[in-house]
Amino acid sequence: MMPRSADELMGDARARIDRLTTEQLDGVLDEGGLLIDIRPEAQRAAEGALPGALVVERNVLEWRFDLSGPHHLEQVTGYDQPVVVFCSEGYASSFAAASLRELGFVRAADLDGGFKAWAASTGSELAGP
């Protein structure tokens, strides 16, 4: 196996997923989809929250979406459910959405620019320390 850069891995992940803009988030919840906040607790406290988002920290994401396992979330209803993952700036969420695609979630996507892009687009202030 040849060593690869993080940028190469990111490119591979993003080639397998859709990246939504903040404007495209509007209908996700109405369609029965999920907005998934994978940021750690300290980052959520510092930056704020996106209304309607479900917090699933990155370290447990796959277990909470494994429909064949005992730890999946009740809000996860099927592999065709729209799922939009976001982090702070849209990097970790690309890897997370690609992982959900590997689990079978054909409509898993991430938010381009992450929470910070959403906050800027809505004029929301970041919470700050």
CATH of the domain at 59: 3.40.250.10
Q: Is the pLDDT of residue 10 over 90?
A: yes
Q: pLDDT per residue over 28-66, tens digit each?
A: 988 999 999 999 999 999 999 999 999 999 999 999 999
Residue 41, in any domain of the structure: yes
Q: Give how many domains the chain has, as a whole number.
A: 1
Residue 95, in any domain of the structure: yes
Among residues 117, 109, 61, 119, which one has the least CA distance to residue 89? 117
> DSSP per residue over 20-88, as a string?
E-GGGGTTTTTTT-EEEE---HHHHHHH---TTPEE--GGGHHHHH-TTSTT--TT---TTS-EEEE-S
Over range 15-37, report the average pLDDT: 93
Predicted pLDDT of residue 128: 64
- Residue the block writes with tokens 């064949």: 68
Burial class for 78, CB neighbours closer than 10 Å (0-12, 13-18, 19+):
exposed
Residue 107, in any domain of the structure: yes
Q: How confident is the model at residue 124 (pLDDT cuts 50, 70, 90)?
A: confident
DSSP-derived letter for residue 113 is T
Predicted pLDDT of residue 35: 97
Residue 99, in any domain of the structure: yes
User: Distance (Å, rounded) from C-alpha 74 to C-alpha 18?
Assistant: 24
Q: How confident is the model at residue 69 (pLDDT cuts 50, 70, 90)?
A: very high
Over range 84-92, report the average pLDDT: 97
Give the domain range for residue 81.
19-122
**Rounded to two decimals, what is the model's pTM?**
0.93
**Structure token pair of residue 12:** 């591979």
